[in-house]
Structure 1
Amino acid sequence: MSDSASDASDSVSGCTRRRTAVTEAEVEALVHGICFKTGPPRALGVEVEWIVHELRAPQLPLTPERLAAAYAALRAVPLKSALTVEPGGQLELSSPPAGSLMECISVVSADLDAVRAVLSEDGLGLLGIGHDPWHVPRRFLREPRYDALEACLDRTGPAGRRMMCTSASVQVCVDAGYEEPGPLGHTRRWWLAHQLGPVLVAAFANSPLVQGQPTGWRSTRQLFWTQIGPARAGAPPLEGDPRASWTRHVLDTPVMCVRQDDGPWQVPEGLTLRAWARTGEPRPPTREDVDYHLTTLFPPVRPRGHLELRMIDAQPGDDGWIVPLAVTAALFDDPEAAETAYRTVKPLAERSLARPAPHNALWIDAARSGPADRELREAAVICFAAALEALPRLGATPEVTAAVAAYRDRYVVRGRCPADDLLDRGADGTGRRPLGKDVPS
């Protein structure tokens, strides 16, 4: 390549630097090499998102100034987890990679205690729910990335703004797995993540309300992800090698933006990463652009060297996030539980053949009905039993195992989920009358 074609500038950190452009073949090799790092499953992580709210009256909106002051105070708190802010002001804690389930729980629990202590001094708290039941989407962060993301997602309707500003989740991160076949092999784990995903959506559904009204969906958050569309928020087909399938998906998905040194970022329509690499227009893409593009894809399972499972709604209570973390870790990292989970969800695959996740009937039924869907409930009962047997083998404490058992007894075996509790308390989750009539179809 000539010098004029091989260099481009990048200024993500605020200073312009020269970056080397990449060809289509180089882009393909990069994605193929960095998204699945195989080996023995040893590490575990969790990302927990929360809606920040007024302790005295959660329905009251928070001013941007009040949120900014709270986050300024939190940045002075020493934490082992990374604290970040979502576009609508949601708080996220991302654990460092942990060597065990209990290490992960211990680190995040301590960090959450510290965060809650600081917030409570200002009369604020954390709400564990998959979608804000009261407020309309409102941007808190004003940055070029989120301006571009908003402009890009607006093309497919209002769901993107809700995802950005009013949703929260528990995201469990597991290693990609061994290169070779078997219960802990990376091909099996990739398949299992997509087929077990609807069971997790259903079992932990906790977002039935929008602006005080029931939506008819147990996980409205998952509905909104579906409405964003299969390119930005969908999975690739599961046939064949996961690396090759994911790489094709990455290259054939339109880029969200072309970052600029000055002024707003460009938001081209329909410019795939592959086409950008081939044409070099509006400027040649760089390795940094490829890395950035990967962060703008939001499938239910995202390979980032490890597998990031993104389909679980945020959970109620201070420690509700521990149950989906423990169940997911057991079903992926214990060989016996992983084999049971695989055999249990395999018959469900017939409902997911028509389209990749989350746009097929299995995922949609999970979001709409939760564990009221008979097949999903039966699968969840078996998977929870397998997880409970596996947790002591993973070093889980009796308290963690008891929490999983209590969740199973309260919800799973009864065909219920936390969304049903919200609906039982009244249309807006507080026992009050409905606030309005505008709900998504």
Structure 2
Amino acid sequence: MPVRPAESEAELEAHLHGICFKTGPPRRIGVEIEWLVHDARNPRCPVEPDRLRHAAGALRALPLTSLLTFEPGGQLELSSLPATSLTECIETVTADLALVRPAMLAMGLGMAGHGHNPWHPPRRVLTDPRYNAMEAYFDRWGSAGRAMMCATASVQVCVDAGHEEPGLFGLGRRWRLAHLLGAVLTAAFANSPTSEGCPTGYRTTRQVVWSQLDPGRTLAPPQEPDPRTAWARYVLDAPVMCIRSEDGPWDAPEGLTFREWVRTGVPRPPTREDLDYHVTTLFPPVRPRGHLELRMIDAQSGDAGWVVPLAVTAALFDDAEATERAYRIVKPLADTAGSRPAPRNPLWRRAARGALTDPELHTAAVACFAAAQEALPRLGASPEVRAAVAEFTDRYVARGRCPADDHLDALYAAEGALLLGKDSQ
């Protein structure tokens, strides 16, 4: 006889409905920034796990406002608190980085903004039960899981879900905007064209890695009129990655969905806390966590490279005129995307491979960045932030380029110089 679950399927579905989209006027903004950690003198020299553990202990003693964590491959992440303005968010994270970077350098460590590690193969340094179970789970799908866990880094922008009612800032429209604009952001900020020193054929290798993982937890949910119902169904039908245990491995039976776990109560009845934890193991390109978490942007180079994607995204979501223009700009991209979910549909694949060399994505990016630039003064952005967005627009977007193109140019130039040197001998 089946064991009765701790909570019923209907109760857990209602719980998801209540927590996934917290609606109201868009007022808050947040950012989560990851960096690849490397030896400050020689980035191509892998950092030993003991050095990373020492660094983690030292950094956690700093008086930071943001949450500091390390990812499985040793990537450093700063997660801001929800801010009431773009300016507050930028100033808070900038102040934290002013403490973190010197502390890292004092330990002989640097922080690099690349979407995918350009130097080293994936190597896991954290051995928590969660990551042991995650690695075993993703190994069923090939090598992409280890690359995602240990060799990728991103800038994740968090925006409010929007109003309950339909309209300019309505939840349904912002949900749709995020999935179409996401391809434009992927292309504009593509910054991971190499792996282990070699071009991969993509401007954002990180996005390709994500597209090769378990589709039940990394593809976008169906784009339906009611995002809450679609998300709740997606969560319950996703395979369980791990079942937490006090005294053993966290492995889950292969193929077990959360819905099946609730219905059977095997290997033990799940709880609401298990469901909340299960949600943290789902990685679609836009993840509802009360707010909308946009997860598609590669980590950016430079001390303040993260500011530009944060500012552009905030402007296009939270300024009334800019969000109206952005929605009109990206709405036609739905025809290119087709019925397949991101990031496996044609639109997102073109963003990953060609970035802004794709004419349709280039046209959309030029128009979206123009709308964002006009909106930033209305959001109270500082002259420095506006100048950074303008410089990025002129250097990349207007020219149909992205940061990945700089890396490829440097790589090909170095190869050409090497060949020229050999020919002259």
TM-score w.r.t. length of structure 1: 0.93
* Residue equivalent to 2:358: 373
* Residue equivalent to 1:224: 209
Q: Residue by residue, what CA displacement relative to the aligned partner does 1:361-407 show, whole Å, maximum 9, x if unpaired?
A: 00011011110001001100000000000000001011101110110
Distance in 2 separating the partners of 1:430 and 1:133: 16
* Residue equivalent to 1:180: 165
Question: By how many angstroms is 1:354 displaced?
Answer: 2.5
Give the 3 Å change call, closer, same or farther, for CA 141–384 of structure 1 in structure 2: same
* Residue equivalent to 1:202: 187
Distance in 2 separating the partners of 1:191 and 1:177: 12
Give the 3 Å change call, closer, same or farther, for CA 158–429 of structure 1 in structure 2: farther
What secondary structure, in the 3-state scheme, does the structure 2 residue paired with 1:131 have?
Answer: coil
Q: Residue by residue, what CA displacement relative to the aligned partner does 1:211-256 show, whole Å, maximum 9, x if unpaired?
A: 1000000000000000003212111111220001111111111111
* Residue equivalent to 1:93: 78
2:149 to 150, 160, 164: 164
CA contact (8 A) 2:205 2:352 kept: yes
CA contact (8 A) 1:212 1:428 kept: no
What secondary structure, in the 3-state scheme, does the structure 1 residue paired with 2:411 have?
Answer: coil
1:269 to 242, 250, 254: 254
Distance in 2 separating the partners of 1:253 and 1:429: 46
Question: By how many angstroms is 1:69 displaced?
Answer: 1.2
Map 1:41-440 → 2, pairs under 5 A: 41-426=26-411
Amino acid aligned to 1:408: T
* Residue equivalent to 1:40: 25
CA contact (8 A) 2:72 2:124 kept: yes
* RMSD (Å) for aligned C-alpha atoms: 1.6
Q: Residue by residue, what CA displacement relative to the aligned partner does 1:259-288 show, whole Å, maximum 9, x if unpaired?
A: 222111122211111111111111100011
CA contact (8 A) 2:222 2:341 kept: yes
Question: By how many angstroms is 1:57 displaced?
Answer: 1.0
Give the 3 Å change call, closer, same or farther, for CA 340–428 of structure 1 in structure 2: same
Distance in 2 separating the partners of 1:332 and 1:131: 27
What secondary structure, in the 3-state scheme, does the structure 2 residue paired with 1:60 have?
Answer: coil
Distance in 2 separating the partners of 1:161 and 1:149: 9
CA contact (8 A) 2:188 2:355 kept: yes
Distance in 2 separating the partners of 1:169 and 1:429: 27
CA contact (8 A) 1:381 1:413 kept: yes
Q: Residue by residue, what CA displacement relative to the aligned partner does 1:88-109 show, whole Å, maximum 9, x if unpaired?
A: 0000000000000000000000
Question: By how many angstroms is 1:429 displaced?
Answer: 8.7
Q: Residue by residue, what CA displacement relative to the aligned partner does 1:47-86 show, whole Å, maximum 9, x if unpaired?
A: 0000011121111111111111111111111100000110
- Could you list the structure 1 runs, at least 4 aligned residues long, displaced by more than 2 angstroms after superposition: 427-434
Amino acid aligned to 1:44: I
Distance in 2 separating the partners of 1:80 and 1:305: 21
Distance in 1 separating the partners of 2:397 and 2:347: 18
Distance in 2 separating the partners of 1:22 and 1:148: 25
What secondary structure, in the 3-state scheme, does the structure 2 residue paired with 1:308 have?
Answer: strand
* Residue equivalent to 1:10: none
Question: By how many angstroms is 1:433 displaced?
Answer: 6.7
Give the 3 Å change call, closer, same or farther, for CA 237–78 of structure 1 in structure 2: same
Map 1:7-22 → 2, pairs under 5 A: 21-22=6-7
Q: Residue by residue, what CA displacement relative to the aligned partner does 1:151-191 show, whole Å, maximum 9, x if unpaired?
A: 11111111111110010000000000001111211110000
Distance in 1 separating the partners of 2:313 and 2:343: 18
Amino acid aligned to 2:38: H
What secondary structure, in the 3-state scheme, does the structure 1 residue paired with 2:212 have?
Answer: helix
Distance in 2 separating the partners of 1:308 and 1:429: 38
* Gapped regions of structure 1 (runs ≥ 5): 7-20, 435-441
Distance in 2 separating the partners of 1:291 and 1:416: 40
CA contact (8 A) 2:138 2:214 kept: no
CA contact (8 A) 2:44 2:119 kept: yes
Amino acid aligned to 2:288: P
Q: How many residues align?
A: 418
Give the 3 Å change call, closer, same or farther, for CA 38–359 of structure 1 in structure 2: same
Distance in 2 separating the partners of 1:201 and 1:159: 19
Distance in 1 separating the partners of 2:226 and 2:414: 44
CA contact (8 A) 1:371 1:415 kept: yes
CA contact (8 A) 1:199 1:376 kept: yes
Amino acid aligned to 2:219: G
Distance in 1 separating the partners of 2:417 and 2:9: 56
Distance in 1 separating the partners of 2:376 and 2:406: 27
CA contact (8 A) 1:134 1:428 kept: no
What secondary structure, in the 3-state scheme, does the structure 1 residue paired with 2:131 have?
Answer: helix
Distance in 1 separating the partners of 2:306 and 2:413: 22
Distance in 1 separating the partners of 2:102 and 2:7: 47
* Residue equivalent to 1:11: none
What secondary structure, in the 3-state scheme, does the structure 2 residue paired with 1:228 have?
Answer: coil
Give the 3 Å change call, closer, same or farther, for CA 339–374 of structure 1 in structure 2: same
What secondary structure, in the 3-state scheme, does the structure 1 residue paired with 2:356 have?
Answer: helix
Distance in 1 separating the partners of 2:224 and 2:398: 33
